[in-house]
């Protein structure tokens, strides 16, 4: 079976609609016919110096949310990045294969460091795409389900795979980004030209999956829309409405064309009210399932431990092979 792999950062109390529709839903779909490896990127979360107690709690919340979203630990290895030390072991090798300028061209780093202030951005934030290349290539996945914002990092992973193979012999597969067109960049509800983001969106710009359903509905109803009053799909001219149409189509399981037809001649407000109901239902069920998993932290730990054991079976021999190939002498 082909392999799929992806990760998500425990950088907030809740995942948001963009994470779910853009990425995690695809994780769940791919586990049907892929050997799947999905992880909570706790080491990546360290790049922004989170509070330790908060980070610990968020790892459990992340695991519970992934289970609530439908990641099935019987079929997918669900684990915590820091439980598989091979990720950082391989990352060092890739650090040494990446050019300084090459790393500096990563737009996520430019955006996030600009926000933090140049002096405050950590070296970890700078090198995190390289750790991400290790996260991915360790498992030789065919498909990496992510949102549009990860495309450049995936390209770096592909380049590093090729570079390593060129220097040291065929070792890594060049993974394909698995990016679903319509939902790859769910927009911030208050600023439809920006992506919805755990760390950058304002509270009203983001629908958290663990939001109270009434609050989620209210956020949808107060989404910023464009001037004009015709409901049509025009991401350039009417990004606010285009985002709501995408959300509606995906959550309702239909197409944007069908939604446009359904609301023909109606006003923006009608679309918002109907979408608000759909989203309230979605977060209501999601919240219930997540809370049920959170009630049993020992079971979450058991799931993560089993996932890490399966991941290490794959990852450990890769690091041995890589260390041999680059000329490190095996310890006795
Ligand atoms: P942060 O702001 O901390 O970077 P994030 O919201 O970007 O958080 P990540 O944990 O970095 O979330 O990303 C998890 C997955 O969700 C990735 O595959 C990413 O591409 C995807 N993703 C994030 N935001 C969106 C969005 N607005 N639309 C679609 N996919 C998204
Ligand atoms: Mg992100």
Please name every residue paired with 3 in a beta bridge, in sequence order, or none if there are none: 35
pTM, entire model = 0.96
Would you state the pLDDT for residue 305? 98
181 is catalytic: no
Give pLDDT tens digits for 135-189: 999 999 999 999 999 999 999 999 999 999 999 999 999 999 999 999 999 999 9
Least trusted range by pLDDT, from 10-19, 118-127, 188-197, 321-330: 118-127
Helices (H), 204-296: 213-221, 239-252, 256-262, 268-294
Q: Which ligand is nearest to the CA of 152?
A: 1
Q: What mean pLDDT is predicted for residues 247-258?
A: 96
SS3 of 322, please?
helix
- Token pair listed for 284: 């209501």
Band of pLDDT at residue 121, cut at 50, 70 and 90: confident
Would you state the pLDDT for residue 321? 98
272 is catalytic: no
- Token pair listed for 135: 């996260």
Cα torsion 21, 59, 73, 307: sign? positive
198 is catalytic: yes
Range ranked top by mean pLDDT from 62-76, 96-110, 219-233: 62-76
Question: Which are the contacts of 308, defined by CB distance < 8 A and separation ≥ 6?
Answer: 77, 79, 80, 83, 84
185 lines ligand 1 (CB under 6 A): yes
Buried b (16+ CB within 10 A) or exposed e, 179-200: bbeebbbbbbbbbbebbbbbee
Q: What number is the ipTM of this complex?
A: 0.98
Q: How far is CA 202 from CA 13, 57, 191, 242, in A?
A: 14, 22, 9, 20
Q: How many residues does the chain have?
A: 332
196 lines ligand 1 (CB under 6 A): yes
**Nearest CA-CA partner of 184 in 154, 151, 219, 223:** 151
Q: Which ligand is nearest to the CA of 41?
A: 1
Residue 116 has pLDDT above 90, yes or no: no
153 lines ligand 1 (CB under 6 A): no
- Token pair listed for 264: 């023909």
Residue with tokens 């290790």: 134
SS3 of 232, please?
coil
Q: Please check if 62 is assigned to a binding site.
A: no
Among the listed residues 185, 198, 219, 272, the single catalytic one is 198
Q: What is the CA radius of gyration of the chain?
A: 21
DSSP assignment letter at 39: E
- How far apart (Å, rounded) are the C-alpha atoms in residues 285 and 26? 19
């Amino acid at each position: 079976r082909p392999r799929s792999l992806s990760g998500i950062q425990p950088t907030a109390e809740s995942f948001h609609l963009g994470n779910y529709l853009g990425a995690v839903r695809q994780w769940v779909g791919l586990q049907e016919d892929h050997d799947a490896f999905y992880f909570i990127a706790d080491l990546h979360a360290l790049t922004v110096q989170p509070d330790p107690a908060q980070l610990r709690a968020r790892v459990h919340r992340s695991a519970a949310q992934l289970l609530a979203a439908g990641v099935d630990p019987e079929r997918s290895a669900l684990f915590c990045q820091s439980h598989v030390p091979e990720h950082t072991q391989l990352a060092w090798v890739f650090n040494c294969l990446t050019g300084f300028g090459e790393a500096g061209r990563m737009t996520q780093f430019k955006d996030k460091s600009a926000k933090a202030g140049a002096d405050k951005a950590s070296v970890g934030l700078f090198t995190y795409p390289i750790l991400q290349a290790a996260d991915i290539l360790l498992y030789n996945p065919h498909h990496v389900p992510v949102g549009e914002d990860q495309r450049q990092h995936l390209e770096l992973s592909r380049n590093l795979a090729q570079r390593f193979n060129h220097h040291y012999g065929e070792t890594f597969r060049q993974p394909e980004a698995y990016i679903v067109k319509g939902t790859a960049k769910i927009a911030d509800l208050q600023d439809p030209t920006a992506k919805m983001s755990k760390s950058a969106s304002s509270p009203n710009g983001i629908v958290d999956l663990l939001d109270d359903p009434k609050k989620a509905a209210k956020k949808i109803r107060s989404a910023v829309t464009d001037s004009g009053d015709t409901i049509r799909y025009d991401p350039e001219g009417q990004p606010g409405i285009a985002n709501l149409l995408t959300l509606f189509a995906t959550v309702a399981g239909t197409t944007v064309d069908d939604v446009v037809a359904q609301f023909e001649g109606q006003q923006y407000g009608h679309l918002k009210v109907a979408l608000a109901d759909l989203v309230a239902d979605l977060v209501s069920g999601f919240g219930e399932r997540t809370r049920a998993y959170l009630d049993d932290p020992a079971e979450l730990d058991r799931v993560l431990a089993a996932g890490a054991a399966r991941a290490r079976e794959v990852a450990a021999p890769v690091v041995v092979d890589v260390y041999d190939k680059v000329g490190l002498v095996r310890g006795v």
